Amino acid sequence: MDSIDASLHHFMNKKEWQERFEKVKKEVLMDKRIQSFLKEHSAWNEDTLDRDLMKLYEYKKERENCDFCPGLKRCPNMMKGYQPVIAVENDQLLIRYQSCTLKRQEEERKKQQSLMKSMYIPKEILEATFDSIDQDHKSRLAASNKCLQFAMEANPGKDGKGLYLCGKFGVGKTYMMGAIVNELAARNIPSMIVYVPDFFRELKQSVTDGTVQEKIDYVKKMDVLILDDIGAETISAWIRDDVLGVILQYRMMEKLPTLYTSNYDYDELEEHLSYSQKGGIERLKAKRIMERIRHLTTFVFVDGKNRRESL
């Protein structure tokens, strides 16, 4: 019986296999990423990479899948949601896998939703895009353009200016915010939509399990924070001063953009914030909150027909 080495040598000298091997080698060497790797690592060149050819071929095919990504659910890679990187360790070429942007975004969203039930956003909003926004009203078109401009230019940590979308029920304010979230995701900028009434209600309930501060810290440090339907909550002095005030103060100091949707304009929201559950009126404290909101947002009025009535 021939030795394994002899058998392998005999197999490798078969013309058909050799031609296939050379074809694969040619494809690998034409890959720009692999060309860049070979330039940086002189130990590997066209004459010596035969031993690592299949590793590089695996890298090439998997990265091509990423180049034409069909989405996380339909990811064709061996490890769904992971992309390969070339590594060198002890003069050995290794192919390692790291989570892709979409995978990290999904994990971050799951982390957010496990921390806060108020992070639940309808599927329609999560899939919103600017192309799908109805532009059948001049006001909605102008608002959509403002939102797109923000999404394309947002620079958390450098510019803390956000948007304040105001309008009646069902005109598409939250949908536009969903489009912003998805556009920011394409730029690898983390963001979060919080439905304000549920968020504040959840914080009150979290006093008993000791997670209030954890939730406040998580929200206040998010790169881009969207407070959806502010003004629809039942206000209290604690919520206004120790929650909302603390969040906005931190974000102002760190230049982190905060965006809002509301049925109230600035003056109406200030009036709302001045009243508490106990019936007191504290206009000065409400004014302090509103100064931060006014100073760090651009007011955008959204009008049009109520989209919910047509559902």
pLDDT in tens, 135-182: 777 888 999 999 999 999 999 999 999 999 999 988 889 999 999 988
- Domain check: are 59 and 196 in the same one? no
Domain boundary among 44, 70, 99: 99
- pLDDT in the model for residue 4: 47
Q: What domain range is 36 assigned to?
A: 4-99
Torsion angle, CA of 108/177/243/253, rounded to 10 degrees? 90
Helix (H, G, I), strand (E, B), or coil: what is residue 259? Answer: strand
pLDDT value at position 103?
Answer: 87
8 A C-beta contact, residue 218 and residue 115? yes
- Helix (H) / strand (E) element for 112: namely helix 101-115
183 and 196 both lie in a single domain:
yes
Are 175 and 55 in the same domain? no
How many residues would you count in the chain? Answer: 311
Residue numbers in the chain where pLDDT is lower than 70: 1-15, 45-48, 111-120, 277-279, 307-311
Given the structure tokens 């392998």, which residue do they identify? Answer: 8
- Residue at a domain's end among 99, 121, 155: 99
CATH number at residue 248: 3.40.50.300
Q: pTM of the predicted model, to two decimals?
A: 0.67
Q: Decide which of 99, 125, 144 is a domain's last residue.
A: 99
